[in-house]
Amino acid sequence: MSFRSFLSRFALATSFLARAYSADPAYTVVDLGTLGGSTATAVGINDSAQVAGSSPINGNVAQHAFLWSSSRIADLGTLGGTVADAFALNGLGQVVGTSHIAGNAAFHAFLFNGGAMQDLGVLPGSTNSVGSSINNSGQVAGWSYTDGLVASHAVLFSGGAITDLGTLGGASSFGEGINASGQVVGSSNIAGDAAEHAFLYSGGVMQDLGTLGGTNSEAFAINDLGQVVGSSDITGNAARHAFLYSGGVMHDLGTLSGALASSAIAINNSGQIVGLSTFQGGHTRAFLYSAGVMRSLTDLIPADALPPQAVLAEALGINSSGQIIANSANNFHAYLLTPAAPLSITSPTSLPPGKVGASYGPVPFVAAGGTSEREWAATGLPSGLFINAATGALGGIPAAGSEGSYPNTKFTVVDANGAVASVTLSLTINPAGSTVPPPPVITSVSPNPVLGTGLSQQFCVNGRGFVNGAGLMVRLTWPAAQVDLPVGFFNSSQLCLNFNFGIAPGNWTAQVTNGDGQLSNIFFFTVAAPGHGSNAHLSLPHFIFGASWYSAILLSNTTGALESVPVTFRDDAGAPLLVPLAGIGSVSSRIVVLNPGTTVLVEALNVGDGPSVEGWADISLPPGVMGYGITREVTDGRADHEALIPFVPESSQTAEFSYDDTSFTTAVALVNPTNQQTTVTITAFGADGDQVGFTQLPLAPGAKSVNVLRAFPGMAGVFRQQGRVVVSVPNGAVSVLALRFGAAGFSNIPVNHR
């Protein structure tokens, strides 16, 4: 579950259908193993990359449900019989499915939670049931057989009760998927049992979603935006195709090239869809449907990722990070597919000048991420220069008449999956016969070592060949990060600047970029003392970017000295998060340098067609520097929605805020900013002061948990209530952000940390 699940519910339901095509990334592949038998099947994945499925145990004498987490596969057992199959899990690692009971006389829906498998029971008069999907509130969709195994009704298991959802007029129905709001999808016979149609159950009403023109359809999953996927007969019942139901319309997703049929099985909140496509002879291939294009997952993984003859036959789950679980044919194993690092250009940062008629370069361009097969291209180059499409080396001989400035030379790399990265640089070509100066050389820096007192101090780079110009700067690099600092030109042998070296002791480097674009050598020096340690560590609990989301950090320096603000980005699991900062590139940490009295905006833009990415930021704020975060949803056809995200302390063990869940929705982000495991206690009170909710959540070091308040376990009582919430931890600290949502947008709720 994530903030984007709830921020996005106000977006146009079909907006993703209009996205321009952008190819999906390559994937790394992990075999999930088995419970000792020869095969395994994966059926669901959550945002923590936990996977639910089923596998035979040793000797293939029985089949048990499993939960795979952090490279370990755990046997969940059965309800006393020999066979149990898992069908889904939620963000808390709770697993649902069906299991034979003792004696194998019947099979019942189960919920595995807290190390135990619980029997969810059956409808009165029934003997068998299935649990097919579960949300973070613990609501389970499924079905229970009402007439032996002849007829069934879709059901909702919630709070120990079973609710019969009925049918569309026919004898049977099946509940297949459920979202955070408790909406259920599945299939049902219509009146007279003449056909089976996909349905959406919401607010106590079962709605017929229709078909793609044929007789039958069925729905398998629904995301938190209410988008539904499944399969349907097309006009004339010539074939069955995967569909997306969005905005009141059922869209035909087609099939893989050459296939006869397809079925969509799962969808995430970014609109990415996975499933399978069927070919002549009945064999199937797993697919990913994203940005309007269906692609075979086999084409998106390394050629040697699977054993010989094994192919990905079906994909049954995808999480918000784009991780996919797929099952193979032939060897019948389950696999976790994780998107590779995004494609980016890592060098060069500037271009040396050239001269008409003189050989230029070669200047190497280097890319990172994406696939290993890449193709380079360039635009805006002077006549006579070109980039090698295979190697990325820029070279050639500038032609007569090409002298001048080329400020918008654009270099682009495309990988084998169509991912694109580009950089725009400036290039100068001097006339024939002119003298191109040699590159600058750093011979020393002063002082060396630098005393890292934590105060801004003068630092000089000494050498020769420094040339004035708009691009003149010094790049300082230290163990954790780097910064490019513009410098005022002093003379050709010395450049001086002011900087606070208390950021990090250790080995640093300096490199000069001349005003004409030429680079100096890299010079090593030492910072000998630790920093001042007086910075306040603050958390920005929500930072989301990409697709329709924009986030930024605004910082202002109120002092008369140069100040630096270290910012570290982490994902929801606490791991370093690469953030593509505008004008900077993809970094997981950054030192933001502010001159006296200045304000700096650090931005992660709403660009790209893949899923949005989110996490949080640790900000080390020196005295005299202030700021806040911004999150904005940008959707065509309506005004942008924006919320200010305040910096909050990383030293508080208790936080409180008021909520109003009557006509609005409250969402909460909880961050553990420390390096120790903790347990977060959430207690909610109504307007009369009586307790209406209580839960406890484990939170790993550096991790973040985010959800709608009423969707946290034990917090359903806040629905349609007003009151206050107390968040506390027994050890370490907790940083809390609360947001209020309505049809007009969203805003932050003040939180009192103490």
> How confident is the prediction for the chain on average, in pLDDT?
86
Coil vs helix vs strand at 451: coil
pLDDT for 20 beyond 60: no
- For residue range 214-253, what is the model confidence (pLDDT) as tens digits? 999 999 999 999 999 999 999 999 999 999 999 899 999 9
Residues 284, 288: Cα–Cα separation, whole Å:
13
Mean pLDDT over 336-347 rounds to 80
Assigned domain for 163 exists: no
Residues 506, 452: Cα–Cα separation, whole Å:
10
403 with 361, same domain: the answer is yes
pLDDT for 520 beyond 70: yes
Confidence band, pLDDT 50/70/90 cuts, at residue 382: very high
Mean pLDDT over 345-365 rounds to 81
Greater pLDDT, 653 or 167? 167
Structure tokens at 78: 């059965």
Res 453: pLDDT = 67
364-368, 462-466, 596-600: least confident range: 364-368
Res 175: pLDDT = 97
Res 405: pLDDT = 86
pLDDT for 54 beyond 60: yes
SS (H, E, C) 246-271: ECCEEEEEECCCCCCEEEEEEECCCC
pLDDT for 274 beyond 80: yes
Res 389: pLDDT = 92
127-141, 316-330, 518-532, 606-620: least confident range: 518-532
What's CA 416's distance to the chain center, in Å?
Answer: 22
426 with 454, same domain: the answer is no
pLDDT for 363 beyond 90: no
643 with 658, same domain: the answer is no
The per-residue DSSP string of 283-341 comes to -EEEEEEETTEEEEGGGGS-TTSS-TT-EEEEEEEE-TT--EEEEEESS--EEEEEEPP
Q: What is the CA radius of gyration of the chain?
A: 29
233 with 268, same domain: the answer is yes
SS (H, E, C) 108-174: EEEEEECCEEEEEECCCCCCCEEEEEECCCCCEEEEEECCCCCCEEEEEEECCEEEEEECEEEEEEE
- Which sign does the torsion angle of CA 572, 578, 584, 590 carry? positive
Q: Which residue among 631, 648, 665 closes a domain?
A: 648
Res 416: pLDDT = 73
Confidence band, pLDDT 50/70/90 cuts, at residue 11: very low
Burial of 36 (0-12, 13-18, 19+ CB in 10 A): middle
Confidence band, pLDDT 50/70/90 cuts, at residue 489: low
Place of tokens 């930072």: 543
Q: Are strands 589-594 and 536-545 parallel, antiparallel or unpaired?
A: unpaired
Res 342: pLDDT = 75
Res 140: pLDDT = 97
Confidence band, pLDDT 50/70/90 cuts, at residue 506: low
657 with 711, same domain: the answer is yes
Res 65: pLDDT = 96
User: 298 with 304: CB under 8 angstroms?
Assistant: no
Most confident range (mean pLDDT) of 94-108, 570-584, 707-721 is: 94-108
- For residue range 322-341, what is the model confidence (pLDDT) as tens digits? 899 999 998 899 999 988 77
Res 549: pLDDT = 86
325 with 390, same domain: the answer is no
Contacts of 735 (CB under 8 A, 6+ apart): 539, 541, 648, 649, 650, 652, 655, 670, 671, 673, 753
- Residue among 309, 335, 306 at smallest CA distance from 53: 335
Q: What burial letters (b/e) apply to 568-600, b meaning 16+ CB within 10 Å?
A: bbbbbbbeebbbbbeebbbbbbbbbbbeeeeeb
pLDDT for 1 beyond 60: no
Assigned domain for 436 exists: no
Domain ranges, residue 451: 441-527
Helix (H), strand (E) counts: the chain? 1, 65
Res 185: pLDDT = 98
- Residue among 172, 180, 136 at smallest CA distance from 155: 172
User: 23 with 419: CB under 8 angstroms?
Assistant: yes
Residue 6: in which H helix or E strand, if any? Answer: helix 3-7
Greater pLDDT, 166 or 507? 166
Mean pLDDT over 333-362 rounds to 83
Confidence band, pLDDT 50/70/90 cuts, at residue 592: confident
Confidence band, pLDDT 50/70/90 cuts, at residue 15: very low
Structure tokens at 410: 């654009």
Assigned domain for 145 exists: no
pLDDT for 534 beyond 60: no
Contacts of 435 (CB under 8 A, 6+ apart): none
Assigned domain for 132 exists: no
Res 264: pLDDT = 98
Confidence band, pLDDT 50/70/90 cuts, at residue 594: confident
Most confident range (mean pLDDT) of 260-264, 330-334, 608-612, 648-652 is: 260-264
Residues 33, 54: Cα–Cα separation, whole Å:
11
Mean pLDDT over 137-155 rounds to 89
Assigned domain for 114 exists: no
- For residue range 436-445, what is the model confidence (pLDDT) as tens digits? 677 888 888 8
Confidence band, pLDDT 50/70/90 cuts, at residue 24: very low
SS (H, E, C) 565-604: EEEEEEECCCCECCEEECCCEEECEEEEEECCCCEEEEEE
In the 8-state DSSP scheme, what is residue 696? Answer: E
Assigned domain for 384 exists: yes
Q: Which amino acid is present at 540?
A: L
Mean pLDDT over 361-366 rounds to 82
Backbone dihedral angles phi then psi of residue 58, each to the nearest 5 degrees: -50, 130
73-87, 278-292, 412-426: least confident range: 412-426
Provide long-range contacts, Cβ within 8 A and 24+ apart, for 472-475.
472/512, 472/513, 472/514, 472/515, 473/512, 473/513, 474/510, 474/511, 474/512, 474/513, 475/349, 475/510, 475/511, 475/512, 475/513
User: 125 with 164: CB under 8 angstroms?
Assistant: no
Assigned domain for 13 exists: no
Residues 293, 311: Cα–Cα separation, whole Å:
21
63-67, 229-233, 375-379, 430-434: least confident range: 430-434
Res 347: pLDDT = 66
Res 34: pLDDT = 94
Query: Which CATH number covers residue 658?
Result: 2.60.290.11
Greater pLDDT, 565 or 504? 565
304 with 362, same domain: the answer is no
pLDDT for 147 beyond 90: no
Q: Which residue among 628, 648, 668 closes a domain?
A: 648
Structure tokens at 722: 């007003």
Query: Which CATH number covers residue 459?
Result: 2.60.40.10
- For residue range 179-195, what is the model confidence (pLDDT) as tens digits? 999 999 999 999 999 99
Burial of 630 (0-12, 13-18, 19+ CB in 10 A): middle
- For residue range 280-299, what is the model confidence (pLDDT) as tens digits? 999 999 999 987 899 999 98
103-117, 228-242, 502-516: least confident range: 502-516
- Residue among 331, 335, 333, 264 at smallest CA distance from 301: 335
393 with 412, same domain: the answer is yes
659 with 604, same domain: the answer is no
Structure tokens at 520: 């100096």
Contacts of 328 (CB under 8 A, 6+ apart): 306, 310, 311, 312, 313, 334, 335
Assigned domain for 113 exists: no
Confidence band, pLDDT 50/70/90 cuts, at residue 16: very low
331 with 387, same domain: the answer is no
Residues 430, 590: Cα–Cα separation, whole Å:
36
546 with 507, same domain: the answer is no
Res 627: pLDDT = 93
Q: Are strands 506-513 and 473-477 parallel, antiparallel or unpaired?
A: antiparallel
- Residue among 143, 223, 215 at smallest CA distance from 175: 143
Res 144: pLDDT = 96
Euclidean distance between the first and the last CA atom of the chain, given in angstroms as a whole number = 27
287 with 364, same domain: the answer is no
Q: Which residue among 286, 321, 340 closes a domain?
A: 340
Percentage of residues of the chain with pLDDT beyond 90: 50
- Residue among 658, 627, 666 at smallest CA distance from 3: 666
Q: How many domains does the chain contain in total?
A: 5
Greater pLDDT, 173 or 371? 173
